[in-house]
Amino acid sequence: MINRRTVLLSGGALAALALGTGSAMAAGYPEKSIELLIPFSAGGGNDQVARALAAELDGILGQSVVPIQKTGAGGYVAAQAVATAAPDGYTLGHQSLGTLMLGSLMKEQVLDPMTELRFVAQMALIQSAIAVRADSPYQTLDDLVAALKAAPGDLAWGHTGRGGFHFVNGASLLAATGTEALDVPFKGSSNTVAALLGGEIDYAFLSTSNYLGFEDEMRILAFAADQRDDLLPDVPTVAEAGIDMVTVATPSVITVHKDTPDEIVTALQAAIREAVARPSYRERLNGMGIAPVFADEAQILAYLDRNLGPWKELVDAAAATAG
């Protein structure tokens, strides 16, 4: 099912892109304001990304893009609102893709995002970083893994909650290295950072945004990601450190109803591409510790096609262990 949809939508996206970018705007679209549903609490990083994009799109599209909070069920309340709206491009959804897809892999949801939503474009990328205190004896990821192997179960690691992408990356590291550690979940990143800096845990899986302001107190050993992070380009990935593990990033993406016409999706995609390239948007996201990274529909679907199988295997293994 996933592969078939990937082929169909990728082909449609590529055909639409052949028409051009801004010049391919759907005739008359948009003729009124657009709602952008945000499944995150006001003031958080994901909320600010959505609002930063909306501010840029106002000028690019020539109509207001109105951010509306639609929280609940790990993004699925907003997703269902998009899936049941008219397929006319006037109801957009912001989703944290890794979180959304992990939710669908862990339990049955109100909808299947792969068949009931269309992924328009990505406008940011949040990745997991493996962090220790600045005075930690672990200077590299090799050092940390060696310590995990030397004392199975003695070290403690923190994250922002079981089932989230930080947790899945942490479980993946342990599985890939054949090691054990005490799993300590916290409510939110600020509590995880406080526990790390307070010495309650030995290492943590966090985002780059959590590192800002603590540069002198925290050290990032590696990113559990396919690519280096734009904001900390000198920090290696786990693969570069020689660890073959499944990783989960959480791109920020815009979604629409699955039946939204290609010409509207193309118009939105071109507008988002322009917004992400603007210095004002990039500076705003960089200031939050979030990388402004664009990807089109075909690239998003290819990313999911590569990763959904490995993510499912990892989620199932973690559930079996917990049980």
Q: So where are the chain's domains?
A: 2-125+251-319, 128-247
What does pTM read for this prediction? 0.84
Residue 10: per-residue pLDDT? 39
Give the sign of the dihedral formed by CA 248, CA 249, CA 255, CA 260: negative
User: Which overall architecture, per CATH, does domain 2-125+251-319 show?
Assistant: 3-Layer(aba) Sandwich (3.40)
Q: Give yes or no for a contact between 131 and 195, defined as CB atoms under 8 angstroms apart.
A: no
Residue 70: per-residue pLDDT? 95
- Measure the N-to-C terminal CA separation of the chain; round to a whole number of Å: 29
Residue 163: per-residue pLDDT? 79
Residue 2: per-residue pLDDT? 35
Structure tokens at 157: 């690691």
**Which residues are paired to 300 by β-bridges?**
none
Nearest to 19 by CA among 266, 272, 260: 266
Q: Give yes or no for a contact between 245 and 172, defined as CB atoms under 8 angstroms apart.
A: yes
Residue 322: per-residue pLDDT? 58
Cα 226 to Cα 111, 181, 232: the distances in Å are: 28, 24, 14
d(CA 126, CA 251): 6
Element (H, E) at 67: strand 65-69
Other C-beta atoms closer than 10 Å to the C-beta of 306 total 12
d(CA 48, CA 44): 6
Among 3.40.190.10, 3.90.280.10, 1.10.4080.10, 3.30.465.10, name the CATH number for the domain at 128-247: 3.40.190.10
d(CA 54, CA 177): 42
2-125+251-319 against 128-247: fold identical: yes
Residue 179: per-residue pLDDT? 97
d(CA 289, CA 8): 35
Distance of CA 160 to the CA centre of its chain: 14
How many H helices and E strands in the chain? Answer: 12, 11
Residue 177: per-residue pLDDT? 97
Other C-beta atoms closer than 10 Å to the C-beta of 18 total 9
3-state secondary structure of 215: coil
Residue 164: per-residue pLDDT? 85
Nearest to 270 by CA among 56, 9, 36: 56
Residue with tokens 């309650």: 200
Residue 321: per-residue pLDDT? 64
pLDDT under 70 in the chain at which residues?
1-26, 321-323
